Amino acid sequence: MHVAMIGSGYVGLVSGACFADFGHTVTCVDKDASKIEALNRGEIPIYEPGLDVLVNGNRFAGRLSFTTDFVTAVKDADAVFIAVGTPTRRGDGHADLSYVYAAAEEIAAAMTGYTVIVTKSTVPVGTADEVEAIIKRTAPGADFSVASNPEFLREGAAIDDFKRPDRVVVGVEDERAQELMRALYRPLNLNETPILFTNRRTAELTKYAANAFLAAKITFINEMADICEKTGANVQDVARGIGLDRRIGSKFLHAGPGYGGSCFPKDTLALVRTAQQFNTPTRIIEAVVEVNAARKRRMVEKIEAACDGSVKGKTIAVLGLTFKPETDDMRDAPSLDIVPGLIERGATVQAHDPQGVKEAKHMLPDSVIYCDTPYDAAKDANAVVIITEWNEYRALDIAELSSTMKEKVMVDLRNIYRPEDMENAGFSYTGVGR
């Protein structure tokens, strides 16, 4: 089957490479000529474990190609996926659908023969209906269907999520589109992957509902962590105690500095705006958005408290800048609130991240000092703060770390270390909810 992927960002590139690995012929399109040139040289513009091997293996096999030529990619495609960005619109919090609608117009002008246009981007309820209307206006005689196929990819584990998903959700309004989408995902039959066919609006809402629910779980356990700190309880034991209940489950019950990334912040806000548009209160999700934003800012106060009430004139080593490990994504990362907050209060910040420095330099204050190793970041520091739980921070040489620091203070916002071990090493240790 011939597939065109409009947009070669995170979702488009991972999805295109995985479809090619299934045996389909895939062309990824992007308006950014420099990105396409880099991909054709075998250079991957984002960090995602295993993606370079997957992309280049299928590129050399002739199943995956990259181009800026929209018409050539679309005209013979059986399915055209719209995988462009839907960032939060400035001013009102709604998802910006301008890229989606522009892609729909271009697809309408380029496609020939029966084509299924699939919204892969995360979009509010009713977007597929508008895509269909745009195509009908632009190409009145076109033979096409519109489907919704939301992605559920975790950054850092996206390839496995695509090839071995919990489920595939496809929103369609006609039998032809359903059969084509079923054929496209047929390779997943071997894994007995559930493929849920719904109407388009249900598929669109399912994506938002999933992310909002997971964001709510994170926010809930973070509030439990605050109670644990006041009462002397241990949030990790609380999380295990409730997570063993199969009705609740253990995932997304890890207390920390708040959620970030490309999905949860914008999707929860977009869902709130959609609910407001339809005059349907979503007080739980509104609270999740507000509590999470406040939590990130409050982490600065937590660090100050660990530093005897003030960070003014002190050097703080920050380990981890990305919103989660195994990605270079800095979007809405807790570090974007914490690091500027520390600097505003007079601290000098020395930071390390295995993959995020390039992006961080565009998003954090110029005064941040970037270091090659965690130990370089800790040199002459009054405190070390762990924001992102990269694997290389899980087994730091504590003796080496402490030997280079001015004061032995650790604020572990991911609860990587055991308090008793750090205290035995001479550290003043602060975790979350313990």
Just list the catalytic residues: 263
Host H or E run for residue 25 = strand 25-29
Residue 15, burial from CB neighbour count under 10 angstroms (0-12, 13-18, 19+): buried
Q: What is the CA radius of gyration of the chain?
A: 23
Nearby residues of 89 by Cβ (< 8 Å), 6 or more positions away: 95, 96
Q: Is 161 left (phi over 0), alpha (psi -120 to 50) or beta?
A: alpha
φ, ψ for residue 149 (rounded to 5)? -140, 75
Helices and strands in the chain: count of H runs, count of E runs: 17, 14
Rounded Cα–Cα distance for residues 159 and 211 (Å)? 19
Report whether 303 contacts 316 (CB < 8 A): yes
Which H helix or E strand runs over 141?
A: none
Listed in sequence order, the residues at least 6 apart from 202 whose beta carbon sits closer than 8 Å to its beta carbon are 171
Distances (CA, A) of 171 to 185, 331, 405: 14, 28, 56
